[in-house]
């Protein structure tokens, strides 16, 4: 069903692009070439993001990165939680224009080199895709929370989700006259990290993983209706 819808959208894109090109011809006559001043804006992260069964003990703003015309990272926040002396760290970054490439995101925001880890892709119905990996005696879960649709963990998943859920006739018309992007390319990139004893027994390792995974699901559910508005 999803595959069929994706094929329909791809064909529709071709038809819409042709029609839009006619509108572009009139753009210089009727509209200004500049985008609205707020087409690129920042997002202020909340200091508190409550998670069930976790106590938030710290919230640290992450310094704004250098802006780039088509890959602008505005800010981020690091949240520290505790549950029975187990510390969970969550790093969140908002990218208005992203490719959702996990390798690039890890290189840009962490000391983790993608080539040194094996990211296992997982899927949860109602939430989406996410990646799990071990590094520096910690277990990590990472994914992009998208403005619409499901979470994604690869560039291919992100592109498919972007056009499947954020493309619309209204957006296409605004894009044709230079007032909007064809699709919403924003992403709330998340990296959850917690201590993991790889030498522990299987029951302990599984319990640790399930604890972190449950926190990821709760984190996603909190952000789903609070995704940064498109500027």
User: What is residue 186's predicted lDDT score, i.e. its pLDDT?
Assistant: 87
Token reading at 33: 């070439």
Per-residue pLDDT tens for 135-155?
Answer: 999 999 999 999 889 999 999
Tell me if 63 sits within 8 A of 45, measured CB to CB: no
Domain residue spans of the chain = 2-226
CA angle 149, 155, 161 (to 5 degrees): 20
Per-residue pLDDT tens for 107-136?
Answer: 999 999 999 999 999 999 999 999 999 999
Residue 3's SS3 state is helix
| Global pTM exceeds 0.85 | no
Tell me if 137 sits within 8 A of 196, measured CB to CB: yes
User: What is residue 60's predicted lDDT score, i.e. its pLDDT?
Assistant: 95
Q: Are strands 73-83 and 86-95 parallel, antiparallel or unpaired?
A: antiparallel
How far is CA 77 from each of CA 42, 62, 94, 188, rounded to the nearest angstrom? 13, 5, 9, 11
Residue 188, pLDDT > 90, answer: yes
Q: Are strands 187-195 and 86-95 parallel, antiparallel or unpaired?
A: antiparallel
Average of per-residue pLDDT across 187-192: 96
Task: List, in order, residues 6 or more apart from 3 with CB less than 8 Å away.
Answer: none
Which pLDDT band holds residue 178 (cuts at 50, 70, 90)? low
Token reading at 30: 């009727």
């Amino acid at each position: 069903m999803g595959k069929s819808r994706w094929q329909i959208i791809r064909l529709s894109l071709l038809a819409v692009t042709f029609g839009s090109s006619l509108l572009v011809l009139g753009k210089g006559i009727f509209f200004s070439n500049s985008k609205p001043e707020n087409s690129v804006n920042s997002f202020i992260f909340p200091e508190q993001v409550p998670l069930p069964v976790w106590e938030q003990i710290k919230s640290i703003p992450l310094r704004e990165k250098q802006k780039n015309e088509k890959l602008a990272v505005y800010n981020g926040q690091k949240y520290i939680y505790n549950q029975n002396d187990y510390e969970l760290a969550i790093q969140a970054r908002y990218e208005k224009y992203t490719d959702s490439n996990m390798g690039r995101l890890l290189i840009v925001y962490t000391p983790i080199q993608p080539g040194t880890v094996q990211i296992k892709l997982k899927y949860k119905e109602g939430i989406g895709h996410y990646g799990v990996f071990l590094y520096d005696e910690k277990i990590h879960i990472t994914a992009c929370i998208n403005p619409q649709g499901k979470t994604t963990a690869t560039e291919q998943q992100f592109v498919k989700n972007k056009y499947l859920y954020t493309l619309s006739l209204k957006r296409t018309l605004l894009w044709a006259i230079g007032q909007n992007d064809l699709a919403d390319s924003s992403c709330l990139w998340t990296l959850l990290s917690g201590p993991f004893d790889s030498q522990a027994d299987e029951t302990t390792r599984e319990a640790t993983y399930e604890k972190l995974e449950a926190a990821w699901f709760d984190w996603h559910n909190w952000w789903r209706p609070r995704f940064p508005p498109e500027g």
